[in-house]
Structure 1
Amino acid sequence: MPPRCGRGPGPELRSRESRRGPKMAGAVGELLREMAELEQPLEELRSLKTVVYSLPLSALRELVTGLRLGLLFDLLNGDDREQIDTCVAILDRLLQALDPVYLAQNFKVELQKGLQHSDDTVKILAMSQIGRIVENADAVPLIIASPELLREMIHSIGGKKISVAKEAIQSLSKVAQTKAGLDALFMTSMLQDLKDVMGTNDVVRYRVYELVVEISSVSPVSLGYCANSGFITQLLAELAGDDVLIRATAIEMVTGLAQSQHGRQYLAQQGTIDRISNMIIGAGSDPFSGFYLPNLVKFFGNLAMVDSPQQICERYPAFIEKVFEMIEGQEPTMIGVGLDTIGILGSCIEGKQVLHKAGNKFQEVLRRLGSLSCNAATDLRVRCLDTIASLLSLPNDQQTEDLLGLTESWFQTLHSQPMETFCNMSSQPFPEIHIGAIKIFTAIASQPWGQRLMISTPGFVEYIVDRSAEPDKPSKDAKFELVKTLVDSKTIAEIFGNQYYLQLRAYLREGPYFVKAVATVAVDGE
């Protein structure tokens, strides 16, 4: 009889599973009853763990609501390390099978005690289950109506275990996505709990700021609650603090606040964006500015991309001037941030136009990029190649005559012989440099001037269709992307000619990992 394909288990298998399910379910109940009468039930716990992990969640859902799980929660309070770990594993599996509403209705007290537990694995178990509850619209009101549990979640932000604190931040931010949740956190005694936790230390203070930024980003109403609570005012005040590391972290938090339009409007109204621009201007006279200057630049880089590169660069010229200065400097960290920022700005048409308006200053930057791509440390060379690829990229639907002239002039400014330089890089044994060069070829591959350069470079098209030139999967993927970009271009057949065009189409059709079969010849006597 032929095997059944893609139709699920046959009737015999389903019958065996249906008989096995109740039998295993009965074993779970029996083991729990046995454990209730034992002082040291570790052996039974091991057996129970094996049973619950052998059952599918669908079978556990039918079983678990009728079980007395209180015993397992009680066993978490022992001193035996293995007993606690085994109980956590069993409960994690069983609670996953429960509907979030049922879980919230019946186990709030147990979850609250779990957050108070001295063992981190128990805390993580409790917080992960709370995370499931708050993701359910019907279940989250039950958490909001439980101030004791909310309070423990807030206190978990101040715990030593970062994974628990992160889960608490995410869960509380979900609680705050309704007006009832916002009221519970900011219009009750919970607000004081948040402030008390905030006073634990610098690290915990910034965890609370992280929560506030998460909540503020949801809507103008959410931002209003956070602003009225005083948290945002306190965060903005940290920008002027004496501790440069704290200042750097504060700028990072404010950058998160600027991701939403209402957040940017608030920061503009408060004068914060102007203040950060002035901090960039004043950084030159601050010997410690290296600690926070990268975050100042990242702030404006993010602001330019979510708002308007032209408006941001024209209104805050200190930003783009500082970026150019960083790339021209000698400090690797600053160079890297400058490269990344230019790459982000130059990835869109408006950003390209802003950089072009900088005139000779940007021409100097391009020549510096060319030098860094050849002579810097490997990690900076890779970032530089990525930046160059971003600057040169120009989608098919945006290829006006002016923009094509712009990208071609930029390419020629990078090196005296840019095509030869990048071809040499593409043949180097260093994978990151090799792939970085291919990314640059991909960036210019859709542009007619780039195609003309390729076809006029001896051996280049042969290199493109030569699969043996790529030693590993990332390189093969990068080459395939180059081929795909060429084939998708409207001008490729005309510029490359039919012979090469058909070879590229065959490459694309065969995929990135195609290996041509080699025929073997049998030898007499073998």
Structure 2
Amino acid sequence: MQEIINRINNLSLESNEEEVGELLNELKNSLIQNPDVSKSILNANFINSVENWIQLDNVTLMCQDILDISLSHFKIADSDSFGIIELLLKSSPPIQRIAIRKLQTDCLAISAFVPKSTVLLLIKCLNSEHVNIGPATIKLLVECLREDLLNDADIIHQLSPSLDTTKTEALCRIYEVCVRIGIKNFTSFEKVQFIIDKCVSNLTSGSDVLLQLNLLDILQSLCLRDYGLSYLENKNVLQNLSRKIEDINEDPLSGLLLPGLMKFFGGVASLYPQKIFQNYSSLFDLLFNCILEDHPSLIYSALDTLGYLSKSDECKKSLDNDFGHKFVQVVEHVYQNIPNYPNDVKVRALLCLEQVFAPDDYEEMINNQITSICEKWCIGLFGPSKDFSTLLNICKTPFDDLSTAAFKLVKSLAIYSFGQEGIAKTGGFVEYLMSRKSGSTLELKQKKYEVIEILARSSIFDATLIAQFRKYIREGINFVEPMSEVSLESS
């Protein structure tokens, strides 16, 4: 083994790729046969040698395999493991990626004792332009940046972004790390607040639209904690963003931000519906108008936002209380225009309506108030007779993504007695549900099966049909009806 390593270390940069490949293959086979030698090869000299060869197309995978195999025999908690990890993190991106992958496998287990020196190198990795390094480091740092490390001056200095020199991607990663640390608890939030302050300043005072769109997405997570929402309110972030929307006709840049602003306020409203709907009702009037006018550049994000802010029971109550008829008008418009939308918008519209009707929990008894609200919306979509014919036709479409989205909507309706009535009254709907010939993908079959499971508990259908539902359930999702054969006797 040592002889092979020495030969590899003595190779010059001009060495033949074939010779390098043969030596590396010998080393790989030796590692597989004798895992105990892994520690003897992972040192600075060998890693420098691998650094020379990993850029060569014909041996790149071999180099990666050797490092992966060697690291797989290490317990990351060993005292010398972090020294090896740090050697790898100081190397080229392909080698850094291997070190990060190893840390990811033991992320939760090692977070309590990752040394400061390793964390400093991980912070530097946030600046990497390689997609498998910079973004992957975010989760590692969120787990590894303990409160004691957040008190360290070197860590704070390394983490503090320089607005003049830090690239947009790296800046967003730093902010995301700090926000995700901040929502762990209030103590952690206080330690990174000065960096979050810079994030807020970039959002409210900056002119980089792409950066602001990313920051909207990052800062929304703060609202998962009451203290996070209070912080944003005290910094006048919500008021500032509200003004951007109100000035949309005067400031072209606000128009570019509008999809992100809708998503941001939709996300915050899903957590604090009563407060946000009442204090910023004009923003949601704008959202509704985007849908009613089928705004071509905003319809995608508008439908996503509408579904998101409708999905919880508390949101449903607030929407009914604060917007009443206007909301019914909006969801009715969405349903009626599904045939006219492009295919991808049709899918979004169906998924939006699924969330409008879906309860918080399909297994629990649904609140009478929620049932009453959703029935009112159902009548707005399907009329007093609850005719699901159009929905059935969408379920029958040959496009799997569209029919799957339609069945998700059917499931969200089927949980209510009024939805079960609509299915029962619509000619051919039950027969289509029970047909084993309909549904070409596993996901589609799964959704049909889930609908039938709900209907089997219904009191709307007669005993014969309930028995058929239960038989369907016993047979399972992938049951195939046997084909009857007719044999003809030759004369």
Shorter-chain TM-score range? 0.7 to 0.9
Say whether residues 1:143 and 2:115 are aligned partners: yes
Question: In 2 relative to 1, CA 468–115 (structure 1 residues): closer, same or farther, beyond 3 Å?
Answer: same
Aligned-pair distance for 1:503? 0.4
Letter in 2 for 1:116: K
**1:270-299 Cα distance to aligned partner (Å, 9 max, x none):** 222232233332334323323211211211
Larger deviation, residues 79-88 vs 367-376:
79-88
Residue of structure 2 equivalent to 1:8? none
Residue of structure 1 equivalent to 2:186? 220
Letter in 1 for 2:341: A
Question: In the alignment, which of 179, 182, 185 is matched to residue 150 of structure 2?
Answer: 182
Say whether residues 1:243 and 2:243 are aligned partners: no
Say whether residues 1:291 and 2:259 are aligned partners: no
Residue of structure 2 equivalent to 1:20? none
Which protein shows a greater Rg? 1
Larger deviation, residues 161-170 vs 190-199:
190-199
Give the Cα separation in 2 of the matches to 1:404 and 1:106: 58
Residue of structure 1 equivalent to 2:26? 47
Give the Cα separation in 1 of the matches to 2:86 and 2:369: 64
Letter in 1 for 2:304: D
Larger deviation, residues 277-286 vs 316-325:
277-286
Aligned-pair distance for 1:326? 1.9
SS at match of 1:346: coil
Residue of structure 2 equivalent to 1:200? 166
Give the Cα separation in 2 of the matches to 1:505 and 1:193: 59
Residue of structure 1 equivalent to 2:46? 72
Question: In 2 relative to 1, CA 347–159 (structure 1 residues): closer, same or farther, beyond 3 Å?
Answer: closer
Question: In the alignment, which of 268, 275, 281 is matched to residue 233 of structure 2?
Answer: 268
Say whether residues 1:152 and 2:121 are aligned partners: yes
Q: Is the contact between residue 338 and residue 349 of structure 2 (CA under 8 Å) also seen in structure 1? A: yes
SS at match of 2:398: coil
Question: In 2 relative to 1, CA 220–183 (structure 1 residues): closer, same or farther, beyond 3 Å?
Answer: same
Question: In 2 relative to 1, CA 73–451 (structure 1 residues): closer, same or farther, beyond 3 Å?
Answer: same
Question: In 2 relative to 1, CA 170–453 (structure 1 residues): closer, same or farther, beyond 3 Å?
Answer: closer
Structure with greater helix share of residues: 1
**1:237-267 Cα distance to aligned partner (Å, 9 max, x none):** 1123223222222222211332333322322
Residue of structure 2 equivalent to 1:367? 332
Residue of structure 2 equivalent to 1:322? 286
SS at match of 2:80: helix
Give the Cα separation in 1 of the matches to 2:136 and 2:68: 16
Aligned-pair distance for 1:427? 2.2
CA RMSD across the alignment: 3.0
Larger deviation, residues 477-486 vs 341-350:
341-350
Say whether residues 1:97 and 2:61 are aligned partners: no
Question: In 2 relative to 1, CA 511–134 (structure 1 residues): closer, same or farther, beyond 3 Å?
Answer: closer
Aligned-pair distance for 1:508? 0.8
SS at match of 1:437: helix
Give the Cα separation in 2 of the matches to 1:396 and 1:153: 44
Aligned-pair distance for 1:167? 3.0
Give the Cα separation in 1 of the matches to 2:270 and 2:164: 32
Letter in 2 for 1:275: N
SS at match of 1:136: helix
TM-score of the superposed pair, with normalisation by structure 2: 0.87
SS at match of 1:101: coil
Q: Is the contact between residue 382 and residue 436 of structure 1 (CA under 8 Å) also seen in structure 2? A: yes
Q: What are the residue-to-residue correspondences of 1:441-480 with 2, within 5 Å?
A: 441-480=410-449
Say whether residues 1:341 and 2:305 are aligned partners: yes
Give the Cα separation in 1 of the matches to 2:62 and 2:292: 58
TM-score of the superposed pair, with normalisation by structure 1: 0.81
Comparing both chains, which one has the higher relative contact order based on Cα–Cα distances under 8 Å and sequence gaps of 6 or more? 2
Say whether residues 1:377 and 2:342 are aligned partners: yes
Give the Cα separation in 1 of the matches to 2:198 and 2:9: 53
Question: In 2 relative to 1, CA 215–451 (structure 1 residues): closer, same or farther, beyond 3 Å?
Answer: closer
Aligned-pair distance for 1:408? 2.5
**1:100-127 Cα distance to aligned partner (Å, 9 max, x none):** 122x52552x54343333x321121233
Letter in 2 for 1:112: E
Q: Is the contact between residue 280 and residue 319 of structure 1 (CA under 8 Å) also seen in structure 2? A: yes
Letter in 1 for 2:149: G
Give the Cα separation in 2 of the matches to 1:106 and 1:284: 58
Question: In 2 relative to 1, CA 329–461 (structure 1 residues): closer, same or farther, beyond 3 Å?
Answer: same
SS at match of 2:207: coil
Give the Cα separation in 2 of the matches to 1:297 and 1:322: 9
Residue of structure 2 equivalent to 1:22? none
Question: In 2 relative to 1, CA 389–154 (structure 1 residues): closer, same or farther, beyond 3 Å?
Answer: closer
Aligned-pair distance for 1:46? 0.5
**1:176-213 Cα distance to aligned partner (Å, 9 max, x none):** 1x2222123xx237515643597232232222222222
Larger deviation, residues 195-204 vs 434-443:
195-204
Q: Is the contact between residue 134 and residue 171 of structure 1 (CA under 8 Å) also seen in structure 2? A: yes
Question: In the alignment, which of 221, 233, 246 is matched to residue 256 of structure 1?
Answer: 221
Give the Cα separation in 1 of the matches to 2:107 and 2:403: 47
Give the Cα separation in 2 of the matches to 1:276 and 1:452: 44
SS at match of 2:298: helix
Aligned-pair distance for 1:164? 1.3
Question: In 2 relative to 1, CA 189–346 (structure 1 residues): closer, same or farther, beyond 3 Å?
Answer: closer
Larger deviation, residues 36-45 vs 339-348:
36-45
Q: Would you say how many aligned residue pairs link Structure 1 and Structure 2?
A: 476
